[in-house]
Amino acid sequence: MSPTFAQLGVPEFICRALDRRGLTQPFEIQAATITDALAGRDVCGRAPTGSGKTLAFGIPLIATVGEGRPHHPKALVLAPTRELADQIATELRSIAGRTRVGVVYGGVGYGGQIQALKRGLDVLVACPGRLEDLIQQRAVRLHEVTQVVIDEADRMADMGFLPAVRRLLDDTAPDRQTVLFSATLDGSIAALTRDYQRDPVRHEVGDATPDITAADHVFWKVDGPDRIGVSADLVATSAPAIIFCRTRHGADRLAKQLGQRGVKAAALHGGRTQGQRTRALDDLARGHVRALVATDVAARGIHVDGITTVIHYDPPADHTTYIHRSGRTARAGAGGLVVSLVQHHDLKDVRKMQRQVGIDVAVSTAPATTRRADDRPRTRR
């Protein structure tokens, strides 16, 4: 039987906040890491997205963080994407009590972020690029930061952020506690651990990549614009869904085309403003839209509950991208459907990818759809 949060040493005010959310038993990664982190040890954790790792590092952070002065936070959480940073800040605030939690990232104005830093924050959640901008503007100093969390470190590496992460770590207190979470712990992540953690305790939970075996995977031959009608029918019957496109322009265009066919969809990609991206996620969660049409910005680092269907409208760049895209559904014991729309010229690459992923599924003809590419809504006269 797993211990309770109180038995792990979690303070009573945090236990009460967790209980109000219906969280009474820690997840595996939380049970493994919380005691060590509360004791001030450096922690190196491998855990997939959706495993509960935000609270695994967030509970010890809120429980032990000191009081920050204006422009001088005491704890720093680094995240690779705006959406993940926002989600982390929201999660921390839900258990924070009187602890002041702020978040900074690009894509929005500087004014509100600078004012929050001026008032003083205990915990700062940040994306590396915006944080370095704010340091250059003298809006924030990190030399009093005694606790650092690096979340989704492997994603940081994929996005080219590790040099910035190293510069930011160099600005923090030399005797800081450093907690790192990543889906993989080799290569550049191992080097980061070696250079910036002191005798870290290592905890590994779950698979190194999302487990996609709980989902049903189908591959349909659909050429060109016929993919629009097939996607519309899928979303109409199997929402909420995420549809992955290769480009920003393609995502915008498909979202509009789905809307013309009576299927509400929102685009999500790096070219949208932060307000648009946040609104798209909220609209999906609230059921205001039935699908997100996304580039691979949504393949990792974003957690959306209850996704029923993932559609690969454009083929993934490689088998790893297929895994991470597909991992948006069939989470936490639920089932899901993953549909790949395969054009004739992609057949060879798709079969190679299937072998790499370990999926033995025939590429079959798509079922007939009533919404062919040349269909358009008709107005009554």
Band of the pLDDT at 379, cuts 50, 70, 90? very low
Edge-to-edge strand list for the sheet holding 201-204 = 101-104, 123-126, 75-78, 147-150, 177-182, 43-46, 201-204
Is the pLDDT confidence value at 223 over 50? yes
How many C-alpha atoms does 287 have within 13 Å on its Cβ side? 2
The region of weakest confidence among 71-75, 207-211, 316-320, 340-344 is 207-211
The predicted structure's pLDDT at residue 371: 45
Residue range 115-139: mean pLDDT, rounded:
97
Give me the pLDDT at residue 48, please: 67
Please give the pLDDT value at position 299. Answer: 58
Residue 376: pLDDT band with limits 50, 70, 90: very low
| CATH code, residues 215-365 | 3.40.50.300
Length of the chain: 381
pLDDT for residue 34: 96
What pLDDT does residue 381 have? 34
Q: Decide: 112 and 139 in contact? Cβ < 8 Å.
A: no
Integer Cα distance of 38 and 283 in angstroms: 37
CA distance 55 to 179: 13
Q: How large is the average pLDDT for residues 60-69? A: 97
Give the pLDDT mean for 83-97.
Answer: 94
Pairing state of beta strands 147-150 and 215-221? Answer: unpaired
CA neighbor of 229 nearest in space, from 347, 329, 367:
367
Stretch 124-146: mean pLDDT: 97
Tokens linked to 355 = 């072998």
pLDDT at 303: 63
Q: What pLDDT, on the 0 to 100 scale, is given for residue 374?
A: 47
Q: Report whether pLDDT(101) > 90.
A: yes
pLDDT at residue 320, rounded to an integer = 81
- Structure-derived torsion over alpha carbons of residues 362, 313, 263, 239, reported in degrees to the nearest 10: 60
Average pLDDT, integer, range 183-196? 89
What is the DSSP code (8-state) at residue 206? S
What class, spelled out in words, does domain 6-204 have in CATH? alpha beta
By three-state DSSP, how is residue 179 classified? strand
Neighbours of 40 (CB within 10 A): 11
Asked if 151 and 128 touch (Cβ cutoff 8 Å), the reply is: no
Interval 43-54: pLDDT, tens: 999 876 667 889
**What is the overall mean pLDDT for the chain?**
88
User: Average of pLDDT values for 85-97?
Assistant: 95
Cβ neighbours of residue 112 closer than 8 Å, sequence gap 6 or more: none
126-136 tens-digit pLDDT:
999 999 999 99
Query: If we measure between CA atoms, which residue out of 57, 7, 43 comes closest to residue 185?
Result: 43
Helix pair angle (82-93, 274-286), 10° resolution: 60
- Provide the pLDDT for residue 375: 47
282 vs 135: which has the higher pLDDT: 135
pLDDT at 380: 36
In the chain, where the domains are located: 6-204, 215-365
pLDDT of residue 138: 96
Q: Name, in order, each residue with C-beta under 8 angstroms of 351's C-beta and a sequence gap of 6 or more.
A: 363
